[in-house]
Amino acid sequence: MLFNSVEFLIFFPITLIIGNLLKNTAQRIFLLLASYYFYMAWNKYFIALILVSTILDYAIALWLQSLPDTSSRTRKIALTISMVGNIGFLAFFKYTNFLIEVFQDIGFINFANFAVYHSPIGITCSLDEKTLRYACDIILPVGISFYTFQSMSYTIDVYFKKIEARRSIIDFALYVAFFPQLVAGPIVRATSFLRDLDLRLSVTQADIELAISRILIGFMRKLVFADNLALVVNNVFKNYHQMNALEVWTGAIAFGWQIYFDFAGYTDIAIGTARLFGFKFDPNFQFPMSTDSIMDHWNKWHISFSTWIRDYIFIPLGGSREGQWKTYRNLFITWFFAGVWHGAAYHFISWGVWQGVMITVQRLFKTTKISVILNEKGGFVYDLFCRVFTMFCLSFGFVMFRSETMKDCFAMHKIMLFQSKISFLDEKGDLLYRNIEFGILLFICFFASYFFSKRNLETMHEKRNLLMITNITAIFLILIFGAEPSTFMYFAF
């Protein structure tokens, strides 16, 4: 079910009213069933995957809780079962198609003239009876990466005794499937969710006002900015071979802002919605598009994911504790994983590696004398240069993320590096810039992001007139400029 759908506009108020009227166990059961209904509105069959993942990690966590510290080998076996089960499901549905593509590329398999079978859960299988080989076009279950990570982090935390295993399967199932963050995050840690579940936060008038404001801002980001920027993004990535470097750069930067507005809009709605039920999720974005470095960008972009890979991949690998070169190795492994997590395709892997390259270069640069001098004496000019330069480096990676194939990615990079023969001038000798209005919009977005990064809703709430103006502006923009509702982009991950 989409947040920006008529179905959700009916589902949400009913769930909110009944959910707040009920108390204790009845309330938790109702919210769990409502969350399952929310997910099944997309595909009822895939609810089985959530149930299996929930039961698996619930049982493993209780098993870990019952084992003494001396049973280290048994504890590792229990954790391994959980990891294999969760990652196995994720790998099958998310990476089978990619592995088939790799095998085809290297010539191990060749699927041709296959009979086709369509299963009710979205798996389309082709069978060649003569060779008994299968090729499957597997539909990715919405939200599988998010709820799998949540469930796995719970088991890992129980293993390391950061939290105690939950006795109530209703409580744990609700943690995994709570509908606001179920299909596209943020990735909520069990410690914070179960804390709020036990000691439900009161929902004051101020909380309601802030939640509604956050939800309105989320819809504005999605409907007004993300969905309208999609127009120029889709056009550029489809017709890049007919465009000059300036136009392709505009499309690349526009995609970065599109996915930011789309994903930040979703998490704004999720955080605001959860708050109305008495849960407080941490912010997932902190104006990351106007930062002065790639490391600062990732400290403010998809925070729940960047902290997850830090805590469960980078640090267990050794983090930065074992010397410089092992630190860089750990960085590349972590960001390779980040690329694979986003999608099973060469261009996603290259995007992840590019993040590792940028972070490594920045860490190396920070150790030089010129970096110290520029930070001390560069002032506003150097600060602005860093922010603009970071945006351009990120946009180079956005092309990897958005391109359908590496061939398209390389072709666009070639144009962006001014290796194209397409002219910047039209027949009259004027500058050829067919998406100039979007270029101006992106310029405004950049400086608006820098301005609002100094403020937050809580600060604005202290000046009630300012918050009211923000809400009225959001409603006005949605009604006047809101595009036709479309699926949130991170449903694909």
pLDDT band at 106 (very low <50, low <70, confident <90, very high): low
Mean of pLDDT values over 28-49 = 90
455, β-bridge pairs: none
Mean of pLDDT values over 280-306 = 90
The pLDDT of residue 492: 62
More reliable by pLDDT, 132 or 141: 141
Mean of pLDDT values over 225-235 = 89
What residue has token string 């963050």? 181
Question: Treating both helix axes as pointing N-terminal to C-terminal, what angle do 227-239 and 436-452 enclose, rounded to 10 degrees?
Answer: 130
Mean of pLDDT values over 461-484 = 76
From 302, 342, 347, 461, the catalytic residue: 342
The reply to whether 118 belongs to the active site is: no
The pLDDT of residue 430: 61
Contact 185, 228 (CB under 8 A): no
C-alpha 217/C-alpha 273 separation (Å) is 12
Residues of the chain with pLDDT > 90, as a percent, come to 37
The pLDDT of residue 53: 92
Mean of pLDDT values over 366-380 = 88
Mean of pLDDT values over 418-444 = 71
Mean of pLDDT values over 252-258 = 92
The pLDDT of residue 109: 54
Statement: residue 116 has pLDDT above 60: no
Mean pLDDT of the chain: 84
Q: Is 429 left (phi over 0), alpha (psi -120 to 50) or beta?
A: left
More reliable by pLDDT, 473 or 17: 17
3-state class (DSSP) for residue 136? strand
3-state class (DSSP) for residue 124? strand
pLDDT band at 119 (very low <50, low <70, confident <90, very high): very low
The pLDDT of residue 359: 93
C-alpha 121/C-alpha 8 separation (Å) is 23
Residues of the chain with pLDDT > 70, as a percent, come to 85
C-alpha 169, offset from chain centre: 27
More reliable by pLDDT, 139 or 329: 329
- Among 2-6, 42-46, 122-126, name the one with the lowest average pLDDT: 122-126
Q: Is 2 left (phi over 0), alpha (psi -120 to 50) or beta?
A: beta
The pLDDT of residue 26: 92
pLDDT band at 307 (very low <50, low <70, confident <90, very high): very high
What residue has token string 């959860």? 274
pLDDT band at 124 (very low <50, low <70, confident <90, very high): low
Cβ contacts of 94 within 8 Å, gap of 6 or more: 140, 144, 145, 343, 344
Contact 55, 86 (CB under 8 A): no
Residue 221 neighbours by CB distance under 10 Å: 25
C-alpha 97/C-alpha 92 separation (Å) is 9
The pTM of this model reads 0.84
C-alpha 213/C-alpha 218 separation (Å) is 9
Statement: residue 130 has pLDDT above 80: no
Q: Is 421 left (phi over 0), alpha (psi -120 to 50) or beta?
A: alpha
For 380-414, the DSSP string reads HHHHHHHHHHHHHHHHHHHHHHH-SSHHHHHHHHH
Mean of pLDDT values over 412-433 = 74
C-alpha 2/C-alpha 269 separation (Å) is 11
Mean of pLDDT values over 333-343 = 89
Residue 172 neighbours by CB distance under 10 Å: 24
Statement: residue 149 has pLDDT above 80: yes
The pLDDT of residue 14: 94
Burial of 307 (0-12, 13-18, 19+ CB in 10 A): middle
pLDDT band at 457 (very low <50, low <70, confident <90, very high): low
pLDDT in tens, 239-248: 988 888 888 9
